[in-house]
Structure 1
Amino acid sequence: MNQKADGLSNELGILVLILGIAALLSSCGSSAQSRQPQPIKIDGSSTVYPITNLIASEFQAAQAKDNSKNKTKVEVAFSGTGGGFRKFCAGETDISNASRPILKEEMQACNKKNVRYIELPIAFDALTIAVNPQNNWAKDITVAELKKLWEPAAQGKITKWNQVRASWPDRPITLYGAGKDSGTFDYFTEATVGTLKASRSDYTGSEDDNVLVKGVSNDPNALGYFGLAYYEANPSQMKVLAVNNGKGAVLPNRQTVEQAQYQPLSRPLFIYVNFQSAQNRPEVREFVKFYINKAPTLVNTVGYIPLSAEAYHLDKVQFFNGEVGTVFDGKAQLNLTLGEVLRKKATY
């Protein structure tokens, strides 16, 4: 009896030990499975925000369907291209949205923090000049008139429509434009005034394009500028002006951008990927791959102009080869065509 009891006791002890080990292993596995990756942090341009935000939503929706994968949260914010680069070059974000190429001072800031980056053009935009729908006098505007209206010397002096063009009415003009941290501000000032960041300051400025859209749509005397997608999302609330650079008035749309007719207000849009994040974090690599694959369709959905299939292929090659740096000389590039962007990438 005692021998049997001892044997049974030993067997039970072994069984308990085995079950304990199994439970421990299961617990470890469950813990590893439930450990969530760090969120992918993205900030920067409000112009690029709609593209990245939509792609991030699609990425997370695709993850939700795959029960075998840990879910990666993608946090997308906007503080303007300049504000985004400050965070990016401080190592605070994984990806920076940009509506212009990285500037020399931003390159230096990244170098100081040993932040290397992969530059990926992802779309083309047409900076859009918009007025209120009740405006029945303005149909187009010249680049020279934009300069006259927005240059620093205009502050407090050019305050009425008929001061911009004599045939326009003697009524006040209210201005809405990009904030000073915005890449749109940088590009617009260089393209129209001729000097980076040179602008009158007596206007309503914001890094949030929705604020500008609301201002223009609610003010019969308004004129504003912002990315094409924000007009495409609100076409009944505004009227777009054709822009005349001396070769005739041209409206912003896919055809005029692709044919290099809407100049000088066509521009490439970018994402900049932290090289170390891409190298060390599989979820960042997976997201960027997803981004490049989805961009041709979703860029168009948002209201911007996709690049060519060859350009997106070069994005993939550049990203997976880990080719760091910029081909844009640290300054905004005016009058770039889709073909020129492709040639720059091909010779990277």
Structure 2
Amino acid sequence: MKTKVKKLALVLTTLALVSSCADGSTSNTQSQQSPSAIEVSNSTKTGTTIKIDGSSTVYPITQAIAQEFQASSNNKAQVEVKFSGTTGGFEKFCAGETAVSNASRPILLAEMTACKNNGVGYIELPIAFDALTVAVNPQNTWAKDITVAELKKIWQPAAQGKITRWNQVRASWPDRPLTLYGAGGKSGTFDYFTEAIVGKARASRNDYTASENDEILVDGISKDPNALGYFGYAYYEKHQDKLKALSIDNGRGSVLPSPQAVEKAKYQTLSRPLFIYVNPQSLSNRGILSEFIDFYLKNAPKTVASVGYIPLPDEGYQINSVHFYRSKVGTVFDGKAEMNLTIGELLRKESKC
């Protein structure tokens, strides 16, 4: 009983904290919604389809929760989860074609403008952290770690057609072909990785195998002893038997990607939050979509861990629940990603005035 009282007190304290603050969002105006977005997630309990698209990084979380929701709910609602990359997902979301958008980075200024022009609001809900992973083939016996400077040397636009062999990256590595696999241009992972490593979002060489489908990247690396690529940690966790992760050295010593490294803020540069964005107009009368999002937030900690990502502390999901309940529209990121963000800093951003 005492435990329940303590938990209730914590939720009420969090509610009071968030409610006492100014909105803090970039936009707190809910414009009139085009009919198509409301139709994808209406409030009836029969024949409803909740349409979700966006990040392939976030896809395993949302897909797992969607399957659990459909198995446990007493209604005939269908949850359709697809992936076209974070950028591709926002294109559909801001056009009113989907009710939820999976995102591996915050919404950008251009996307915010597109949503505003189409009368589409968005509730920003961080749901996990990722340790963006640089991986090679297990037959690679020479590379165990790599510096941020070496990654920049490989991936910057000037490297195209020039940095094509392993010994060009580090002299002690063998004179073997270097084949590259990475996120496609509509992927939030592409945006984040290029900004974190090269120093400018979307600044990258183009002579590599690019895909918004991380399974394609995993398959390519697993079959090529000379390969190097990057993708979300869950895909490495799922395929550890056919991949090898490299330790990342950002100047403070090399660190392997892991939940523990992210939680202790040791895997900086490539540690990042993951999000879902919800169209508040599609929450018509707090119907089936509302039930799904409520289910999502309650089950996220367990599901996030089970698919290989890093759950937020309980406080993070409690803040999310308050923001969702209040239909808190907007973003705390001012239309750009923030590098080297820790879990603690994310929570402070979400709860501050």
Write the distance in 2 (CA, Å) between the matches of 1:117 and 1:37: 24
Amino acid at match of 1:139: K
| Aligned residue number for residue 180 of structure 2 | 175
The 1-side partners of 2:249 and 2:195 are apart by 16
Rounded Cα–Cα distance in structure 1 between residues aligned with 2:285 and 2:98: 14
Aligned-residue RMSD, C-alpha: 1.0
Structure 2 residue 59 is the aligned partner of structure 1 residue 59: no
Aligned residues: 310
Q: 1:45 aligns with which of 52, 55, 60?
A: 55
Cα 1:35/1:272, change in 2 over 3 Å: closer
Change over 3 Å in CA distance of 1:321–1:35 after alignment to 2: closer
Measured against aligned partners, the alpha-carbon deviations of 1:181-239 in whole angstroms (never above 9, x if no partner) come to 00000000000000010000000000000000000000000000000000110001000
TM-score, structure 1 normalization = 0.88
* Structure 1 segment 337-348 matched on structure 2, within 5 A: 337-347=342-352
Counterpart CA distance in 1 for 2:331 and 2:250 is 29
Counterpart-to-counterpart distance in 2, 1:72 and 1:38: 5
Distance 1:108 1:41 in 2: 22
**5+ unaligned residues in a row in structure 2: which ranges?**
1-43
**1:30 matched to which residue of 2?**
none
Who is 2:34 aligned against? none
**Map of 1:324 onto structure 2:** 329
2:221 maps to: 216
Distance 2:112 2:45 in 1: 35
Secondary structure (helix, strand or coil) at the match of 1:40 reads strand
Partner of 1:31: none
Question: With structure 2 as the length reference, what TM-score do the two structures score?
Answer: 0.87
2:39 equivalent in structure 1: none
For residue 279 of structure 1, report the CA deviation from its aligned partner.
3.8
Helix, strand or coil at the partner of 2:283: helix
Q: CA deviation at 1:263?
A: 1.1
- Larger-gyration structure (1/2): 1
Partner of 2:207, secondary structure, is coil
How much has 1:262 moved relative to structure 2?
0.5
Gaps of 5+ in 1: 1-33
- Give, as a single letter, the amino acid of the residue that structure 2 aligns with 1:42: I
Structure 2 Cα separation of the partners of residues 332 and 186 of structure 1: 9
Letter in 1 for 2:59: Y
Which residue matches 2:311? 306
In the alignment, what sits opposite 1:16? none
What is the aligned-residue identity percentage? 67
Equivalent of residue 341 in structure 2, options 336, 341, 344: 336
What CA distance in whole angstroms lies between the structure 2 residues aligned with 1:232 and 1:35? Answer: 37
Give the structure 2 partner of residue 254 of structure 1: 259
1:207 to 179, 204, 212: 212
Q: Which has the higher helix share?
A: 1
Amino acid at match of 2:331: T
2:257 & 2:199 partners in 1: Cα distance? 21
Report the Cα distance in structure 2 between the residues aligned to 1:329 and 1:165, rounded to whole angstroms. 38
